[in-house]
Each structure stands twice: as structure tokens, then as C-alpha cells.
Structure 1
Amino acid sequence: MKEFNICIDIDGTITDPYYWLSPANRYFNRNVKPEQVTQYSIDQILGVSRKEYIEFYNKNKFIMHDREKIRGDARNIICKLFNISNIYFVTARDKDLEILTYNYLNRYKIPYDELLLLGSPYKVKVAEKLECDVFIEDSPENAIQLSQSGFKVILLDTNYNRQVSDDNVFRVFNWNGVYEIIEKMLLQSKVV
């Protein structure tokens, strides 16, 4: 029986963090580059109202999420981790994206134990319920909330989360870095 519980966000974590940028640039007639995305509030990056961005997102979310590219080595590392731990995908996506999300994970042959679509960015209660040992995330707000609630967080580096610094947050630049940290955690847990 696997005893180590890994919670993983989806958008920007297993997928390209700037998946929304090209369609948003076309829709709003902008030319924002990934290096200009230095904060998590997409509407502010694009210079549009929150209402305008939500309208764009609701019109385009099925196509955007279906076409998201997977991050390099994410699938291979998750497959390795699945052999030694429980994998829970915990996403802020709304329930109306449930079938699309199952299909996406299946298309890329990504193994997991459970998929939870919260419809909210707040993930602490679910992490507690799942007895999460480590949470893999890209959102700066989620990383801080989880860290301050006592969870270890592996933060995949992006232009919009560089300001995050906390004792429980481990920054990595790719999925190989994720594996290295989890491997150390597993070794330490066997020693204790």
C-alpha cells in the first residue's frame, strides 16, 4: 500500500503555464509575451476588466484546456511517482470541465488515484482531507496558503510566481526537480 500522498495542480503545473496567452492576445488584440506575465492576475496583465476576462474565458475554456501542451517530462515523472505514491489531481477548474479533464489526462496516459475539480482556488481543506504530504503548484497564492497551513509545496517556476519565498516552498524549474525533491522526502520519511 502506498503511504505518500502527492497533490498536483493541473493548469500551469503539468501544463504550459502560458497556455491562455495566445488565445487571449488574439481575442483582446494584445501582444503580451510570457516574460511580461509577472503576476497571476491575467486580467491585469492583459489590461482588461475582470468581467471581460471571465467572458473571454467562459467562451474559450473548453478549447484552451483541451489544447494545453503538457510540460516536458511531467508525464514521465508522474508515472514514476505513481508507482511509489498516491497521486491526486486537485484543480480549481469548474465541474463543467470534468469530462474534458478526464479525457486530457487519459490522452496523455497520466496515471492518478483521484481527480478533484473544486471550482475554487482554495485547496487547503482538500489537502487536509487527502493527508497531502506535498502539493505541486504554480499559483503564488495557493503556494503561500498551503505553506502557511503546514504543507510542503513544490512550486514550478514561472514568471508570475518568482516573488514567492517561504520555508515550506521548494522552487523547481522542471519536473526532474520535482522528482529529486520528492525522492529526498521519501528517503527522509523512511529514516524517521
Structure 2
Amino acid sequence: MKTDKVLTIGIDIDGTVTSPSSIVPLMNECFGKDLRYEDCYEYNLANVYNITDAQFDEWLDQYGHRLYDESPVHGNADHILRKWYAEHKLVYISARDARHRDVTLDWFTRYQIPFHEVDLVGSHDKLAAASKWQVDLFLEDRLENALQLSEALQIPVLLFDTPYNKSTLPDLVHRVNSWDEAQEKANQLFLARTSF
């Protein structure tokens, strides 16, 4: 159901609101590696770290709380999201499991990041949640999600540039390098409707 807010903006958390490099130091510590963020050439870090998907899932199960608690904010995301909150409905749609809701909300409070809804779907498939919340724009770092959401919902997606999402993009997916660029692109896309 639409509100009096101008836009409903769907926002991924990890790698979008949090720094995309934040997982690397913790994985290095746990797996005895010395990889750099730039070495993460694909989203599936199990392949990057030469471990199985099951080992990665087990690691995330054990260290997810610490990762979500310690991740820094991505650039000036907090400042821009505080500006957007007054005019737009902010719905965070994340692959995090629901059991990580408390650490997620504590982190949002610590960094004064406002939200209207936080939907932890426990899966990389965010399409049903994005449909449910009727999002007009989505912010994401995972290429597969950006492609799926833009095509299925016919909405623009802002894809934060990372080493693991290099690809030619369709017209509705726009690569951005920073939150300032995201704000500028959102302004261009929705100039007739609103201002960011």
C-alpha cells in the first residue's frame, strides 16, 4: 500500500549501506588468507576463498553477528539516507536471516540510519519483497539481484560498483561509485516527481 511518501526506495544492506569491503578482513582472519577487497572478483566468496558453499554458510552462521555488528557505513550513506527519509519511504530488503534482526536494528540505531521497514528475507531472491513493498527504485551491489529486479519490476536499480559486479548493464540498471553519485542519479531519474 502506497503512503504519502513520494517514492518507496528498496535498499540492500550488505555492500550497499555497509562498506562492500567489510567482510574481507574477517574472512582473512578466519581462513588465514591475505586477500584484498579488489581480489573479490565474484559475489560468491566461497569461490574466492577456495572453500565450499557449505563451509561459507557455516562460517556465516558462526560469524554473521560479528560481521553485521562491526561493518562500517559505506561512505556517507548515513547522511544521504537521513535526507531521503523525510520525503521517501525507505525499505531495507536484505538477504540476512530474520535471527539477525536485533543486531541489524542496533547497527542502524548506532549510525542513526533511519528506516520505515526492515525486511530480512533470508535469501538473495528479493523479488517477492520488492513487489510486496511496491518499490519504485532499488539500491543494490549484487549484479544478479539488480538484473532480476529491474527486469521483473521494470524499475530503475542503482548498482554500487564493486570488483564482483562487472558486466554490461541493461538500460534500467545504473552503475554508481558512491552515495553522492546515487543521489545524483536518483535526482536525474525522478526529477519530474521529486528531489533528493
TM-score, normalised relative to structure 1: 0.95
- Which residue number corresponds to residue 59 of structure 1? 62
Q: RMSD between aligned alpha carbons?
A: 1.2
Contact 1:11 1:17 (8 Å CA) reproduced: yes
Contact 2:6 2:193 (8 Å CA) reproduced: no
- Which residue number corresponds to residue 81 of structure 2? 78
- Which residue number corresponds to residue 98 of structure 1? 101
Pair 1:112–1:141, CA change in 2 (3 A): same
Q: String of CA shifts for 1:24-53, please: whole Å, max 9, x gaps.
A: 112111111111111101100001111111
2-side partners of 1:128 and 1:58: how far apart?
Answer: 28
Q: CA deviation at 1:4?
A: 0.8
- Which residue number corresponds to residue 152 of structure 1? 156
1-side partners of 2:190 and 2:172: how far apart?
Answer: 16
- Which residue number corresponds to residue 69 of structure 1? 72
- Which residue number corresponds to residue 127 of structure 1? 130
Q: String of CA shifts for 1:149-172, please: whole Å, max 9, x gaps.
A: 112100111111122511110110
Q: How many residues align?
A: 190
Contact 1:5 1:131 (8 Å CA) reproduced: yes
Q: CA deviation at 1:3?
A: 2.5
Letter in 2 for 1:160: Y
Of 120-129 and 136-145, deviating more is: 120-129
Q: String of CA shifts for 1:122-171, please: whole Å, max 9, x gaps.
A: 11121112111100000111111111111210011111112251111011
Q: Does 1:3 align with 2:9?
A: no
2-side partners of 1:91 and 1:70: how far apart?
Answer: 15
Q: 1:185 aligns with which of 182, 186, 189?
A: 189
SS state at 2:119 partner: strand
- Which residue number corresponds to residue 174 of structure 2? 170
The unaligned stretches of length 5 or more in structure 2 are none
Correspondence list, 1:16-27, <5 A: 16-27=19-30
Letter in 2 for 1:147: S
Q: CA deviation at 1:56?
A: 1.3
The unaligned stretches of length 5 or more in structure 1 are none
SS state at 2:108 partner: helix
2-side partners of 1:59 and 1:182: how far apart?
Answer: 37
1-side partners of 2:98 and 2:134: how far apart?
Answer: 23
TM-score, normalised relative to structure 2: 0.93
2-side partners of 1:45 and 1:34: how far apart?
Answer: 11
Of 15-24 and 134-143, deviating more is: 15-24
SS state at 1:53 partner: helix
SS state at 1:90 partner: strand
SS state at 1:188 partner: coil
Contact 1:140 1:164 (8 Å CA) reproduced: no
Q: Does 1:136 align with 2:139?
A: yes
